[in-house]
Amino acid sequence: MTALWNTVREAVPLILHGNPTLFTVIWFTLQVSAIATAGAAVIGLPIGLTLGLGRFRGRRVLQVLANASLGVPPVLIGLALFLVTMPKAPLGSLHLQGTRQGVFIAQTILALPFVVAFSAAAVQGLAPGLLAQARALGAGRPQVYALALREARIGVLAAMIAALGATLAEVGAIVVIGGNIYGYDQTLATAALYEANGAHYQDAVAIGLVLIVLILVLIGAASLLQLRGGTSMRFRSAT
């Protein structure tokens, strides 16, 4: 037990006297999470809302596909992106391999299923009469979508939190597409892998502690936002 404890104790000064690389890694991790989650929201929310609210053929099949895509191993997504961005491949001219842009794009793709599947489920969980009533009162599609989004905001935020958590913890896809280049396109999670593989356990623990704190802060803040959103649900039942 003492050996374990010593490793952890030696890790803390490493964070406090943080080397510039650690700050680069933290900053890049934040960038990746923000860009990927926001990108997935911009692309995924319209898809999720259409899946949840639309009344067209094949909607259920698409929703099953969206749910199933949650089960695809991220490393396969990284592999697929890697193959289509090989120099001679269709997207080779984008030069995404071994770059930060590649990591942003891989992570956005990874976050997408969470946003699509969970937001579709959230709007489907709304009281059935609510949207029908809005439609009957003459709400157009954008208005119905806006209403559904507002009413299902707790579920939609949960989707965002899941997407954020996935981007923070991801390793396989980032390593495959980005190459896990020290001080350049490492996130905290892949940096922890890098240090552990190099048997630099104190560094791995230090990075791990920072990652835990970051996750607690970000997910905690998002959950608070979610809870605050929940208070106005009371307003709805009062009307």
Among 12, 76, 127, 132, binds other proteins (CB under 8 A): 76
Nearer to other proteins, 40 or 193 (CB): 193
> In the complex, what is the shortest distance from the CB of residue 97 to other proteins, in angstroms, rounded to a whole number?
10
Nearer to other proteins, 87 or 129 (CB): 87
What is the Cα–Cα distance from 235 to 47, expressed in whole angstroms?
28
Q: Would you state the torsion angle of the CA atoms of residues 166, 171, 173, 177, taken in this order, to the nearest 10 degrees? A: 130
The interface region with other proteins, picked from 46-54, 105-113, 130-138, 175-183 by CB under 8 A, is 175-183
Among 168, 185, 186, 222, binds other proteins (CB under 8 A): 168
Q: Does 60 bind other proteins (CB under 8 A)?
A: no
Q: Does 225 bind other proteins (CB under 8 A)?
A: no
Q: Does 117 bind other proteins (CB under 8 A)?
A: no
Binding residues for other proteins (CB under 8 A): 1, 3-4, 7, 68, 71-76, 79-80, 82-84, 86, 88-90, 165, 168-169, 171-172, 175-176, 179-180, 189-190, 192-193, 196-197, 201, 204-205, 208, 211-212, 215, 219
